[in-house]
C-alpha cells in the first residue's frame, strides 16, 4: 500500500517541501502545525491562542483523513519558552479530555515564523 498525502485548506499550507499529513495504512503522521489561521494567514498573540490555533490545525488535518482527535496516539509540543507550559497545557486539556495520547513537550531555541508553539501528532485511524 502506498502512502497517501493528506491536504486540507482548513489548515495552513506547507511552507516547505513537506505535506500537512502523510498516511500509510491506518497510521497518519501530522506535520508540526504552527498557530497560523488558514483563512487569514496570521498568527494570534499569546501562548493560549497560539496553542488553540495549532491544535485546530492538527484537528483539521486529522479530520481530512477521516479521523478525530480521539484517534491521536502521540503528540509532540515544541515550545519557545517552557515557562509557558502551564498555559499551553490548560488549552491542550480542552482538546484531549479522556484517554490522553502520549506526549512530549520540549523547549526549542526558535520556531518558524517566531511562533511560540508548534504541535505534531501521530494518529491511528480505524
Count Cβ neighbours within 10 Å for each residue of 65-104 and write b for 16 or more, e otherwise.
bebebebbeebebbbbeeebeebbeebbeebeeeeebeee
Looking at the domain 4-124, which fold is it?
A: 60s Ribosomal Protein L30; Chain: A; (3.30.1330)
Summarize pLDDT for 15-65 with one digit per residue, the tens: 899 999 999 999 999 999 999 999 999 999 999 999 999 999 999 999 999
Q: What is the pTM of this model?
A: 0.97
Summarize pLDDT for 85-115 with one digit per residue, the tens: 999 999 999 999 889 999 999 999 999 999 9
Amino acid at each position: 500500500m502506498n502512502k497517501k498525502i493528506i491536504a486540507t485548506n482548513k489548515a495552513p499550507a506547507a511552507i516547505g517541501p513537506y505535506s500537512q499529513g502523510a498516511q500509510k495504512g491506518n497510521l497518519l503522521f501530522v506535520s508540526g502545525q504552527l498557530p497560523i489561521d488558514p483563512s487569514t494567514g496570521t498568527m494570534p498573540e499569546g501562548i493560549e491562542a497560539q496553542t488553540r490555533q495549532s491544535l485546530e490545525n492538527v484537528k483539521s488535518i486529522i479530520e481530512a483523513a477521516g479521523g478525530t482527535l480521539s484517534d491521536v496516539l502521540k503528540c509532540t509540543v515544541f515550545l519557545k519558552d517552557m515557562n509557558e507550559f502551564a498555559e499551553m497545557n490548560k488549552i491542550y486539556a480542552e482538546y484531549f479530555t479522556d484517554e490522553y495520547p502520549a506526549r512530549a513537550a520540549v523547549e526549542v531555541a526558535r520556531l518558524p515564523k517566531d511562533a511560540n508553539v508548534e504541535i505534531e501528532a501521530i494518529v491511528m485511524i480505524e
